[in-house]
Amino acid sequence: MKKFASFLLGAVAGCAAGFLAGSLLVSDEQVDDVKNKIKDNDKLQDLKKKYDNGTEIVKNQLASFPKNVEDDPELKDFDDIVIDDSNKDDDDSENAEESVNDLNNAEKDDTDAASTSEKPQA
């Protein structure tokens, strides 16, 4: 941990010294001169155009990707998702009959409860 703290302190001190030296030793005229040379350099301007075109292409490609699943509100509601395994081959006919009976009983219970709750009590 001591080495890391020394490294961090050295990095901060080095950055501060570099910034201070750059701001004090380089005059504004020299900075303006370098900026003008960059603007007048055709190769650098060509590279800048190629870079801008490349980044635009990448942005368009990223925009064409489908939305994340997390952002899709239709997939957030898991009550609407139905898993259909009807193509699954089950030789267990008793299990299927039990499922049908369970469904029939559940429907009867629901209709019985609905009919008793709708009747006015005197």
Tens digit of pLDDT for each residue in 10-66? 999 999 999 888 888 888 888 889 889 888 888 988 998 999 999 998 888 888 877
What pLDDT, on a 0 to 100 scale, did the predictor assign at position 15?
93
Which H or E run contains 117? helix 93-118
Q: Stretch 102-113: mean pLDDT, rounded?
A: 66
For 51-82, the DSSP string reads HHHHHHHHHHHHHHSPPPGGG-HHHH-GGG--
Phi-psi category of residue 25: left, alpha or beta, with phi > 0 → left and psi -120 to 50 → alpha:
alpha
